[in-house]
Amino acid sequence: MSGTKPPTARRIVDALVEECGLTYAEEAGIRLKDTPQPLYQLLVLSLLLSARIRASVAVAAARALSDHGMRTPRRMVDATWQQRVDALGEGHYRRYDERTATQLGEGAQLVLDTWRGDLRRLRAEADGDRDRLLEGLQRVPGIGPAGADIFVREVQSLWPETGPWLGAKALQGAERLGLPTSPAQLGQAAQDHDDATFAAALVRAALDKDIVDTVTEAARSR
């Protein structure tokens, strides 16, 4: 029998962030800051990621919409339904493209009508209450509990009152890595890392067994 001790939670976390410490917003080319355009782009990405489709396809579709200029709710509304469908198709987001194109148009109109195109107004309405923010996000067509969870998970470093936030999928990743599933214990192990980056890395582990294997091996060799 080998006397090798299993890696500590902190070593696993460090290896995880080193291996895949990239938020989905970063992967989609969104330079997230507290201004209307990138916040809206994150909302669109959250809608796309919440469907039962590969994350890489959702990211590619978000990039395609951006490349076609649909980076603001006004530009999304002004685009035709077919233009939205075509952009989603370029990102290979074909299974739900027609329904999603409709939701994107309706959602953009709601953001314009309700928050004048600026999701910082939704933040102000929530007034530091994460549950109110989650509820407000779900007023947007196509954004359900999963989409709201994704938005908050990705925005938490920018809007610190929303964090630390992991969500169910991130906790699945923690379990697969043999990490504690208590948010408090996870937070202690990841205290040197950005909350949004760590949460996204856990989600990646939940979605990809190869990441779990790679991170576990890297943690053992530290």
Per-residue model confidence (pLDDT) at position 97: 86
Highest-confidence segment of 8-12, 111-115, 184-188: 111-115
**pLDDT single digits (tens) 56-92:** 999 999 999 999 999 999 999 999 999 999 999 999 9
CA 204/CA 214 separation, integer angstroms: 12
**Angle at CA of residue 148, ends 167 and 85, nearest 5°:** 125
User: pLDDT, tens digit, for every residue of 143-174?
Assistant: 999 999 999 999 999 999 998 999 889 999 99
What's the pTM value of the predicted model, to 2 decimals?
0.93
Question: Mean pLDDT over residues 161-188, rounded?
Answer: 92
Amino acid, res. 91: G
Start-to-end CA span in the chain (Å):
20
- Report the distance separating Cα 128 and Cα 143, nearest Å: 20
C-alpha span between 203 and 215 (Å, rounded)? 13
Please state the rounded mean pLDDT for residues 6-21.
92
Read off the tokens for 26.
Answer: 């970063």
- High-pLDDT (> 90) share of the chain, %: 86
Q: How far apart are CA 164 and CA 143, in angstroms?
A: 21
Peptide bond into 164 cis (omega under 30): yes
Q: Which residues have CB under 8 Å from 77's CB, separation 6+?
A: 105, 108, 109, 112
Average pLDDT, the chain: 94
Q: What residues contact residue 158 under an 8 Å CB cut-off, 6+ apart?
A: 32, 33, 34, 196
In the chain, pLDDT over 70 holds for what percent of residues? 98
At 93, is the secondary structure helix, strand, or coil?
Answer: coil
pLDDT-derived band at 4 (thresholds 50, 70, 90) equals low
pLDDT digits (tens, 9 = 90+) for 18-59: 999 899 999 999 999 999 999 999 999 999 999 989 999 999
The mean pLDDT value for 125-147 works out to 97
Q: Any residues with CB less than 8 A from the CB of 128 and at least 6 apart, and which?
A: 161
Q: Is 47 helix (H, G, I), strand (E, B) or coil?
A: helix
The pLDDT of residue 96 is above 90: no
> Are the CB atoms for 215 and 11 separated by under 8 Å?
no
Instruction: Report residue 51 as tokens.
Output: 């469907």
Does residue 2 register a pLDDT over 50? no
